[in-house]
Chain A
C-alpha cells in the first residue's frame, strides 16, 4: 500500500498523539485558562445589576485571607497526613503478608482490591450506615463487645466525625498501597535475600537493610499519588457529613464546591482553586525531581 505523502516517524507520532491531546486541551487546559478569567472578575451572579466587574487580584487576596479556605486546607492536609502514614505502614505490612506463598493467593489479592474500585458513593453510603447513631454497625459491635455502655452519635462530635471519615477514606485507599508495594516487592531479586541469609542476617535485618531501601522509590510514588488524590476528596464528605459538624470535616474540594455552586461566588472559587492547584503542583514537581534522580 503506497501513500501519497510520506510522513516522517515523528510526524506520525504527532498525529497519533493528537486525539488525546485535543481532548485533554479542550476539557482541561482550556477551562483552566477560562477559570483564570473567572478568577480576575466578579460576575455578581446573584445581583446582575452590578454586571461583570474586573477585580484584578482581589479574589486571590480574599482567598489568602479567607480563614475558612485555609481551615479546609488544613483539614485536608491532616487527613492526608494520617492517611499517608497509615497507608504506607499498613499497606507495606499487608503487601509483605501477601507476598508469601499460600493457597488462594490470587483470590485474596483480588478481594483486597475491592475497596479501591468500589464507587466512592457506595462506600460513603456504607460508612454512613455503619456510623449511624441509632442502628449502626459500629455502635452495635462496640456495644456487644462491651466497649461502650450505650450507643453514641459519632458523627455529632467534630473530633470523632473527622477521624471516622479518615478511617472510611483509609479503608478505600489502602489497597492502592498494598498493590504497589506488592508489585515492587516482586521485582526485588531473590538472590539478594539469599546472599544475606548466607551471611547470617535475620529476617528483621533483611527487611531493614534490603527491602526498605529498595522500596523507597515506590514509597515516594505512593506518597505523592495518595496526597494528590486526598486533596480531591469530596464524595464522602458530601454524603456523610456535608462538612460538619461545625465545619470540622470541611475539606477543600467541598469548600470550593460550596463557594462556586451554592453561593455562586464563581470568581472567588476560581481564585481559591488556583491557589489549591499551585499547592498540589509544588508537591508533584518535588516528586518528579526526586523520581528523576533515583531513576
Chain B
C-alpha cells in the first residue's frame, strides 16, 4: 500500500476509533470530574479531577450513603448470576452441542433455527406469564429465577457455538478413546472438551456478558437487594439522582468494566464465538 493510502487508512481508523470510544471516554471523564465542573455551559473540559466518587462507592456503609451500598450489593448479585448462568449454559450447552454434532439427531440441522426461534422471542412476550409462574413457585425476587431465565435464553446459542467447535474436531479421536474403553460421554469429557477449550471460553464469555447486561427481565422479576442486579440498580439511580451526573457516570464505568476487560484482552474469543457459527452457517 502506498503512503498516501496508508495515511488515508490511518485517518479513517482514527475516525472509527473516535466514534467507538469517544462517547464513553466522556463518561469516564465525567466520572472523575467534580460535579461543579460538569454542569457548565458552554461545555468545557474539566480541569480538576478526583476519584472521590469511586472511593465513595466502595467504602461507604449503608445509611451513610445508601446508593453506594445498594450498588455494591447489586454488583455482587450480577456477578453471582452471571457466573452461575455461564456454568449452567456451558454444561447444558456443551452436552447439547455434542449431541447434535455427533449423535445423528434428526433436528441437529435445525439447530440454527431453534437458536433463532429462541433469540427472536422478545423477552417482553414471556415476561408476563413468567412473572405469574415464578410467583406461583415462590421464586420471585431470587437469584435462582434470574439464573433460570438467562440460561434459557442463552443455552441455545451456546449449544450452537459449541457444536460448531465440536464439528471441527475429527471424529477419529473419540473413536480411538472409545476403543480404549471410554463411554461416549467419557470421550466427550476427556478428548473433545479440552480441544474445544477456546470454544468454551468464547461461549462462556458471551453467556456471561449477556447475563451481565440484561435489564428488562431483571427489572420485572426483582425487587429487593436480595436479587437486584447492577443494571436495575443503575436505572434506579438515574431516576433518583437526575442531576448527579458524575456519580452516575462512575456507576456506569464500574458496570462497564467486564466489557472493557473483554475488549482489551479477550476479544478474539468473543469474535470467534459470535462469528464462528454464523459464517459457516
Contacts and interface: CB of A to CB of B under 8 A. Distances in A.
Nearest to A255: B124
A106 to B, nearest CB: 7
B115 to A, nearest CB: 10
A122 B256 contact: yes
Q: Which of B1, B26, B181, B267 has the most CB of A within 10 A?
A: B267
B91 A19 contact: yes
Interface residues of A, number: 106
Interface residues of B, number: 103
B198 interface: no
A109 interface: yes
Interface stretch (A46-54, A80-88, A229-237): A229-237
Contact of A144 (B26, B42, B248): B42
Interface of B is mostly: helix
Contacts of B43: 135, 137, 139-141, 143-144
Given A12-B185, A125-B248, A126-B252, 9 more contacts: A14-B105, A115-B24, A117-B259, A121-B231, A121-B234, A130-B26, A183-B275, A238-B235, A239-B238
Interface of A: 1, 3, 9-10, 12-21, 23-24, 26-28, 30-32, 34-35, 38, 94, 97-98, 100, 102, 106-115, 117-122, 124-130, 132, 134-135, 137, 139-141, 143-144, 151, 171, 175-176, 179-180, 182-184, 187, 217-218, 221, 224-225, 228-229, 231-232, 234-235, 238-239, 252-253, 256-257, 260-261, 266, 269-270, 273-274, 276-277, 280-281, 283-284, 287-288, 291, 295
30 contacts: A1-B181, A16-B96, A16-B185, A20-B93, A20-B96, A20-B159, A23-B92, A23-B148, A27-B153, A31-B133, A32-B125, A97-B13, A113-B262, A113-B267, A117-B209, A118-B259, A121-B235, A129-B26, A130-B26, A135-B38, A144-B42, A176-B274, A180-B275, A183-B276, A218-B279, A253-B124, A261-B220, A266-B128, A280-B121, A280-B122
